[in-house]
Structure 1
Amino acid sequence: MRNLVCRLLMIAAVGGLMAAGAAQSAGTGTVAGIIDVYKTEVKTHGAKSFKDVVVYLEPTAPADYPPPVEHAVMDQRGLVFIPHVMAVQRGTTVDFLNSDHDRHNVYFLYDDTGETLDIGTWGPGQSVSHTFEKTGLVITLCQLHLEMAAYILVLEHPFFTMAEINPETQIAEYAIRQVPAGEYMLKVWHKKLKMKTGNVRVTVAAGQTTTVDVAITRAKYAE
């Protein structure tokens, strides 16, 4: 009964996000919904948990969007990369901080090609910046502390958001706002699970919220 109540409360919260859609910019809409963990359960506690889900939209027609001027930040603290999962648009600069008392390194492994890049080693209180010019999943490591790892998903467009799985309900809620009206493919990235039914085609209408609920699951249950 408790899980059912939690699920209903989360669905109601998503409804609140839809009501907020009236305040969005002219010519744009919102895509919102819930992400349900299907036939499995994920660990949601700890710095290296599986709570993080990236939800993003890819336009079906070619379009260019300038990267943000503001830098993203990934810290190294307590021998952990924080955040553990990050999504950025291609062309974004990320500042890698060292908030520990040890020296740290940042070493990239590009998941799709196997290529690697070492951007350096630096001491406590220092930082190094890197601009991501290639899309795809970048596994981020420290060669001085092999237990450290993080994941940076570099996307072509700015229409994405981070969602967190609730430990009790195993559901996450999301909303992607300020999306220009048009056709998109909705996709989800999770460190362990896959979308149950594959990518979803979405039509975004100006001034409206489109509801898209999806499920993520182990590969053997995905269609």
Structure 2
Amino acid sequence: MLLGLSAITLVAGLAAPRDAAAGTIKGTVVLKGTTPELKKLAVTIDQYVCGKEKNPEDLVLSPQGGIRSAVVWLDKPPAAAGGEALPSTTSMDQKECMFAPRVVVVPAGGKADFLNSDRLLHNLHATPTANPPFNRTQPKGRTISISFSHPEIIRVTCDLHSWMRGWVVVAEHPFYALTNGAGEFELRGLPAGRYTLKVWQERLGTISKDVVVGDQDPTAVTVEMPAR
């Protein structure tokens, strides 16, 4: 009798319906077209810390053309899609006169901790449209925390070092992802259905791509961003 119950339990487990919110979009963002010439940036101040030149980081590619630090998100996800909450706090450092990482994602209502690991003075300057602007002097070792209430993409600069650029992407919902060094990303917890992906990259702009999440999991997608 116990064996029969075990068999029934096993069959019931196998027959259980698939979680309606278990779908995953797993993709890669790649460059389409000729790779633009990326000239080094001249450093004219504080060379004892910053060096004499910097590699441009506004477009970083893998050997296969994958785009690093592109932001991918769902346009208008359905209410039924739960999604794993994004961390409420992120951090961005300043190392050798570059923002590191260059792009961060924080949910609306979250905050970014800005650090300064350099042995010189920096400042944080941004002029958002949906969130309050800021312009803060930052000596070495000081952490400056800034909260963001409204979704938007914000450029952060240092007035003392003109080549420095960083980006804070304030997310409207949990379905945001930042591509890794190979251009790969993953969005989890999606019901089956048709979605529109938005992809932003600081040099290449924003594009859209439709994708269908079906019974096969994960759903593979390649997003091509035209070279500029």
Q: Do these two structures clear the TM 0.5 threshold for a shared fold by scoring above it?
A: yes
Distance change (3 Å), C-alpha of 1:48 and 1:101: same
Deviation at 1:120, TM superposition (A): 1.9
- Runs (5+) with no aligned partner, structure 1: 1-24, 167-171
Equivalent positions of 1:93-132 (< 5 A) are 93-110=111-128, 113=129, 117-132=133-148
Query: Which TM-score applies when normalising by structure 2?
Result: 0.68
Residues 194 and 94 from structure 1, CA distance in 2 versus in 1: closer, same or farther, beyond 3 angstroms? closer
**1:89–1:156 Cα contact (<8 Å) kept:** yes
Using a 3 Å threshold, how does the CA distance of structure 1 residues 69 and 62 change in structure 2: closer, same or farther? same
Aligned: 1:213 with 2:222: yes
Q: Distance in 2 between matches of 1:26 and 1:201?
A: 20
Say if 1:181 and 1:203, in contact at 8 Å, map to a contact too.
Answer: yes
- State the match for 1:78 in structure 2: 96
User: Which of the two has higher C-alpha Rg?
Assistant: 2
TM-score, with length taken from structure 1: 0.69
Aligned residue pairs total 187
Q: Does 1:34 align with 2:28?
A: yes
Secondary structure class of the residue paired with 1:212: strand
Q: Which aligned pairs between 1:152-191 and structure 2 lie closer than 5 A?
A: 152-164=168-180, 166=182, 172-191=183-202
Question: Can you give the 5+ residue segments of structure 2 that lack an aligned partner in the other structure?
Answer: 1-18, 39-53, 61-68
How many angstroms does 1:106 deviate by? 0.9
1:147-196 Cα shifts (integer Å, max 9, x gaps): 22112222201212222465xxxxx332223345554321111112246x
**Contact 1:77/1:99 (<8 A) preserved:** yes
1:72, distance to aligned residue in structure 2 (A): 0.3
Which residue number corresponds to residue 18 of structure 1?
none
Aligned AA for 2:223?
Answer: V
Structure 2 residue identity aligned to 1:199: S
**Among residues 128, 140, 162, which one is paired with 2:156 in the alignment?**
140
Give secondary structure in 2 for the equivalent of 1:213.
strand
Q: CA deviation at 1:98?
A: 1.0
Task: State how 1:48-67 maps to structure 2 within 5 Å.
Answer: 48-51=57-60, 52-61=69-78
Offset of residue 58 of structure 1 = 2.5
Q: Secondary structure at the match of 1:37?
A: strand
**1: CA distance between counterparts of 2:25 and 2:87?**
24
Residues in 1 aligned to 2:179 and 2:59: alpha-carbon distance in whole angstroms: 11
Deviates more, 1:81-90 or 1:177-186: 177-186
Which digits, 9 at most, give the CA deviation of each residue in 1:67-99, with x for residues without a partner?
645410000111111111222222221100011
Determine helix, strand or coil for the equivalent of 2:120.
Answer: coil
CA distance in 1, matches of 2:199, 2:96: 29
Relative to 1, partners in 2 of residues 1:119 and 1:68: Cα closer, same or farther, differing over 3 Å?
A: farther
CA gap of 1:59–1:114, structure 2 versus 1, over 3 A, is: closer
